[in-house]
Structure 1
Amino acid sequence: MTAKTGTLIVVPARYASSRYPGKPLVALRGADGVARTLIERSWRAATEVRGVDRVVVATDDARIRDHAEALGAEVVMTSEACRNGTERCAEAHEVLGGGFEIVVNLQGDAPLTPPWFVEDLIAGLRADPGAEIATPVLRCEGAMLASLIEDRRNGRVGGTTAVFGAGRRALYFSKEVIPYTGTPYGDAEPTPVFHHVGVYAYRPAALAAYPGWDVGPLETLEGLEQLRFLENGRAVSCVEVEARGRQFWELNNPSDVPKLEAMMAEMGMA
């Protein structure tokens, strides 16, 4: 095996989602009126990140493979046994021969991820040699916090929040809104709540070990793959990123489609 260096971005995508089957092939209409699939938008977001050596789509579904390859994407076929995107990234890295310095998981449901989120994430992991994984967090403004709370009030699983301690090491991630605030905030007012951005940068050793760990009770309850690292005592670095005027949201439910389309229209994103 020839040793590699640099950074690999994997865009994991599966068709058989329990909450939203076929999600990677759902079309979102941009500001130019053109409908493009979620996987196309996520792959294009990955290719805009500077300083990356390779970008691949990892899937177990022929429909996603065929669609992605028609766009010009490199596709790695992975097993249906992968339980989440991290396991799919681990398998894709192995299939490619391994050896990258950093492997990034840019999930296929986050088409609004700005390239600087990922660039800052990679830089953050490199700057923290004690961390085995890093993930971005975005401080909520009042409108975003209100949207998260409204989702939970109506029984929807919206965004994930993160809390961290000294050195910005993660303490916990939750689909509940944490920490509790009890105070309303203005639309443009920073809050103590951080929205977890579903992107991960891994050191290869931790990524390779991940599929062999048991799924713990917290990961089972929350349905959040990153909790497996915390449940196994691994250091997770939270890298704060800045929105720079960009709106950010992930496609978690069918009701998010018009929300994302409205954001793209407002930001003029094709």
Structure 2
Amino acid sequence: MTDTPAPRTDVPLMEMQDVYVSYHGDISILNGLNLKIPEGKITGIIGPNGAGKSTALKTLYGFLKPQRGEIRLAGERIDGLEPYQFIERGIAYVPQNRSLFNDLSVEDNLRLGCWVFRKDKARMARALERAYAQFPILKQKRKDMAGSMSGGQQRFLELARALALEPKIVMLDEPTAMIAPKLSQELYAFIKALPEQGVTVILVDQNPRGDSMSRKTRRFSSWSSTMSMEAGRPCIPLICRTRRTGRTCPTCPSRSEAEEAATGSATSNRKRLPAPGRLST
């Protein structure tokens, strides 16, 4: 009698392995990035402008294709998939720039989030009811044009639309950018509770300073890890034991090196990249 092997529990829900990504073939952004996303946690990707945070998220979601490396979902290789195929696998994405149809009502925007199951009227009704329960302000404004709402309210609508799919993973690219502090706190509180609802979160944010990032990490008690990206290369200065003791770490870049590299990368990108578009960082 042969024993059935126990299922593996060390496989992350999503993973990037030695991923290289460039824009236009010669503008290198990600250079050997490795990232593991555990299930039921919030994983943060933190770094300054030009570091490659948004590029990493777009690569995870199939908007950009790696030149080298692999992306896996529960062990399945997915780096060749198109973005719409990620929706079928229960992955939602909320970009940094607004993605609403401003001339459509709040409710119509939510209905568009249900497009993949539009023929299931009962499920669509449940999705709308759930969105209004999560964000009561959307119910109050359901007949208003989406473009008439404040920036924070629009972000609530984008998140509600993404969650209408009942995803197992949601990717958020700087969700509180250009939002009033009070609404930002409400949004962070909502995001913090998502793992309790069975949703794994990948959160991109811009805050390279260790003290501020430490406060944010404490606020998110369910964080699995916080990866800091400096100019396209990952380091983990907050959890590096060598740096905590005040010594120089041979692996992590120093603050001056990281700031200089990030500034150079951002300047180079501004000179060489075309006008901002869907895939601009």
How high is the TM-score relative to the length of structure 1? 0.28
Point out the structure with the larger helix share.
2
Bigger Cα Rg: 2
